[in-house]
Amino acid sequence: MQHKVKDIIIDLLKGTGREGIENVITYMTHDDVFFKKHCHSHHLYMGGLADHSLQTLKMAIAKRDKYESRFPHAVKVGQESLVLCSLLHDICDCEPQFRRHGSLSIEILDRLGLVLSSEERDAISKHMHDPRLSFKLDHKSLRYRLRKYIYSADKKSARKFKGYY
């Protein structure tokens, strides 16, 4: 089962064609670190990080599709951004120390040379912060929509798993 999840994640990431993505995949597959790890507080089993990341992507796509079908003139969030942010938001769990959760993920991705938009960087670094509580964000903006999809999908995936807190 884990091998299938690994292949899906690698194919999705390669499909973005983003500059630096090959370095990220090499990091993730070195000793299968990404595919053997568990999340920091949920999905506490070998391979839980990969399962959670893929579930987050599926849920984020579903949330985006539902919203955009209800509001066809709303700002569109691209599939590539959802793939990158959902699959990489918890890449910091590959590191031995858990610190500055979201910002550590960005540090790792920067070190690997992955090029991200400012909205993607924001969604990853603040994926644990509800964007509805940020009064500085325009609720119709790409930055808000992407953050909301990643935040809510991440939380739903974490709560869905029985080992959550």
Kindly state the DSSP code that residue 71 receives in the 8-state scheme. -
**How far from 47 is each of 6, 18, 32, 90, 155, CA to CA, in Å?**
9, 25, 9, 13, 18
Question: Which pLDDT tens digit goes with each residue over 45-72?
Answer: 667 888 889 999 999 999 999 999 999 9
> Is the entire prediction scored with pTM above 0.85?
yes
If you average pLDDT over residues 31-42, what whole number do you get? 71
- What is the average pLDDT across 132-139? 74
If we measure between CA atoms, which residue out of 123, 126, 128 comes closest to residue 142? 123
Tens digit of each residue's pLDDT (9 = 90 or more) over 17-27: 999 999 999 99
pLDDT for 164 equals 39
Residue the block writes with tokens 């070190």: 111
Q: What is the pLDDT of residues 104-133, one digit of tens each?
A: 999 999 999 999 999 999 999 987 777 777
Nearest-CA neighbor of 56 among 159, 156, 161? Answer: 156
